[in-house]
Structures are given as structure tokens and as C-alpha cells.
């Protein structure tokens, strides 16, 4: 991607993620699919205990797509974002998580030891920009990471999917994270593919020493088999938690049932519920 095309170069996040941009997170299927895939992988990298509902923080939670993935796995979450337009979409979507308008560069406004895990999808690289005269990216990153560390339960993980602009940004980010006490490092999925390559910064907040997970599509994770293990895992999860595969008819029916129980208005179930639409208009 040419650097001129990077959103971070165009405007501060609270301006870039205006109503028009936010709208795409509820209408553009490609954006929705990518966000959900990245979120599912980030949650997988969190390695939360099986069969336990956890309390998770989603940083740059935006429209709540990532949060919905957490809800589908039975977790509870709080999301923080700087764009009120994005948060409004999350409210519209009736996400289960609680939302906070905030700037991660000001620090995380939470009590010590609060979260069992933290995810963040495509947001962290925004902190490398100085969008205001008084912004100093290294300081904002340090403030962010130190306060984040404190807000996490000992031994908890934070997984950030990110798009650093260059290697020095990545270095600055990791350096400030380590200075704040985190251990861990970078997991790169499909490092040899320009299109599929994805970066996840996996940070551990103290506790027992933990091993960094392997990236998908790397030699160590057995080339090409990794994609399969991932979907295998979803099948397994489905059985373990008695939950259905996302977007399947069963999944939709369960979600509708859940909403009905919450007293929300839900369309009646019919034989068309969850059916694939034909491609003609």
C-alpha cells in the first residue's frame, strides 16, 4: 500500500472514522468479513481458558464487530474508542459490550487487575501519529502500555492486530510495550504472502513465563495445514461450548432466541431464516 493511501496519513482517527466511514462497518460485507476474521484469530491467540466466560477489553472497539466475536464465544467485554461515529454504529448494532469514548493515548481509565484479556484490531498503529501539537507518540505509547499493564490481571494476554507503516514504527511500539513490563512479541501469519500476511503483537502481563504462539503459514506451523487446524478448532469449539458455527442457521436461531429473551424485537423464524441469498437481484 502506498503511504498516501494509509488512513493514518489522512486525518486523525476521530475525523477519519466519521459517519460515512463508520457506516461501512455495518454495510460493507468485505470490511465486516475481514474485521471478523482478524478478531477471531486475535481471540484464538489470547488462549483464554476453555469453557470460562472472561472479562475482556477491546481497544479501538469501533462498531463492535470484534466485540460480537467475543460475545459469540461467551465472553463479556468493554470497548473503548475515540470515534463517537463508530461507537454509535455499535449502539445501533445492539452489541452486548459496554462502550467508552476515550483516547488510548491518554491511558486506560481502569482499576488494577480488571481484565482477563485484551484485544485490539487495526487500531494500535494510530498511536504512532502526532495528530495534535502536544502529541508525542513515544510518550503516548508509554502511557498507554503502562496503564494497560496495570489494568490487566497478572498473566493475562493482550493481542493487537496492527498495520505498522514501517519497521521503525513497529520497533517503537514493541520497545514501549517492553518498557512497561510486558513480555511477548510479534506473531506473523502467512509471512510470505503480501496479501494474507497479518501481524499480531502478543503481550503477556507478568505471571508465569509463556511461550509465544506460532504464526500460521510458517514452516514451524506446517505449511498450509494451519488454515485447516484453525477451522478444525472452530468445529471443536462448537462442540465444547454447544454453540453453533457463526452465521449458520442454528447460530442465527440461537442469537434470535437470546434477543427474544432479552425482550428485544426480533423477526419470526421462517424456513428462509439463515438461507443463502441467490446472487441475482
Ligand X SMILES: C[S@@+](CC[C@H](N)C(=O)[O-])C[C@H]1O[C@@H](n2cnc3c(N)ncnc32)[C@H](O)[C@@H]1O
List residues near another protein by CB under 8 A. 52-53, 55, 76, 78, 80, 82, 84, 87-88, 91, 96, 98-103, 106-111, 113-114, 132, 134, 147, 258, 261-263
Residue 71 CB, nearest approach to ligand X (Å): 12
Taking the CA atoms of 198, 200, 129 and 63 in sequence, report the sign of the dihedral they define. positive
User: Mapping DSSP to helix (H, G, I), strand (E, B) and coil, where does residue 221 land?
Assistant: helix
CB nearer to ligand X: give 150 or 253.
Answer: 150
Could you list the residues that contact ligand X (CB under 6 A)? 13, 17, 25, 35, 60-66, 80-83, 86, 103-105, 121-123, 126-127
99 vs 124, which CB is nearer to another protein? 99
Distance CA 156, CA 278 (A): 44
Q: How far apart are CA 263 and CA 273, in angstroms?
A: 20
Q: Of 109 and 171, which CB lies nearer to another protein in the complex structure?
A: 109
Q: Least Å distance between CB 180 and another protein? A: 15
Q: Is 273 helix (H, G, I), strand (E, B) or coil?
A: coil
163, interface contact from another protein, ligand X, none, CB < 5-8 Å by kind: none
What is the closest distance, in whole angstroms, from the C-beta atom of residue 38 to ligand X in the complex? 8
Binding partner at 62 among ligand X, another protein, none, C-beta below 5 to 8 Å by kind: ligand X
CB of 60 vs another protein, minimal distance in Å: 14
Residue positions counted in the chain: 281
Please state, as a whole number, how many other Cβ atoms lie within 10 Å of the Cβ of residue 261: 9
106 binds, among another protein, ligand X, none (CB under 5 to 8 A by kind): another protein
With CB cut-offs between 5 and 8 Å by kind, which of ligand X, another protein, none does residue 248 bind?
none
Residue of 57, 70, 131, 136 lying closest to 100 (CA atoms): 57
Residue 169: contacted member of ligand X, another protein, none (CB under 5 to 8 Å, by partner type): none
Query: Which CA distances in Å does 46 have to 143, 152, 166?
Result: 23, 13, 25
Neighbours of 41 (CB within 10 A): 20
Asked if residues 17 and 61 have their Cβ atoms less than 8 Å apart, the reply is no
Amino acid at each position: 500500500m502506498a503511504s498516501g493511501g494509509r488512513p493514518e496519513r489522512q486525518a486523525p482517527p476521530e475525523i477519519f472514522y466519521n459517519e460515512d466511514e463508520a457506516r461501512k462497518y455495518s454495510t460493507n460485507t468485505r470490511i465486516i468479513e475481514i474485521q471478523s476474521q482478524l478478531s477471531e484469530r486475535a481471540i484464538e491467540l489470547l488462549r483464554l481458558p476453555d469453557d470460562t466466560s472472561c472479562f475482556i477489553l477491546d481497544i479501538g472497539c469501533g462498531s463492535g464487530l470484534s466485540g460480537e466475536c467475543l460475545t459469540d464465544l461467551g465472553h463479556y467485554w468493554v470497548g473503548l474508542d475515540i470515534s463517537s461515529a463508530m461507537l454509535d454504529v455499535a449502539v445501533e448494532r445492539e452489541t452486548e459490550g459496554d462502550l467508552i469514548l476515550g483516547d488510548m493515548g491518554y491511558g486506560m481509565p481502569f482499576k488494577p487487575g480488571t481484565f482477563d484479556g485484551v484485544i485490539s484490531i487495526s487500531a494500535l498503529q494510530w498511536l504512532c501519529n502526532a495528530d495534535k501539537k502536544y502529541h508525542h507518540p513515544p510518550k503516548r505509547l508509554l502511557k498507554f502500555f503502562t496503564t494497560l499493564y496495570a489494568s490487566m490481571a497478572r498473566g493475562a494476554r493482550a493481542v493487537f492486530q496492527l498495520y505498522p507503516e514501517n519497521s521503525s514504527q513497529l520497533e517503537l511500539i514493541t520497545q514501549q510495550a517492553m518498557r512497561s513490563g510486558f513480555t511477548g512479541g510479534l506473531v506473523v501469519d502467512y509471512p510470505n504472502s503480501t496479501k494474507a500476511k497479518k501481524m499480531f503483537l502478543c503481550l503477556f502481563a507478568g505471571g508465569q513465563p509463556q511461550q509465544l504462539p506460532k504464526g500460521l503459514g510458517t514452516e514451524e506451523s506446517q505449511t498450509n495445514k494451519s488454515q485447516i487446524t484453525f477451522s478444525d478448532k472452530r468445529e471443536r469449539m462448537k462442540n465444547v461450548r454447544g454453540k453453533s458455527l457463526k452465521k449458520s442457521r442454528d447460530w442465527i436461531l440461537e442469537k434470535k432466541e437470546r434477543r427474544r429473551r432479552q425482550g428485544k424485537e426480533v423477526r419470526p423464524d421462517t424456513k428462509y431464516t439463515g438461507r443463502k441469498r441467490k446472487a441475482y437481484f
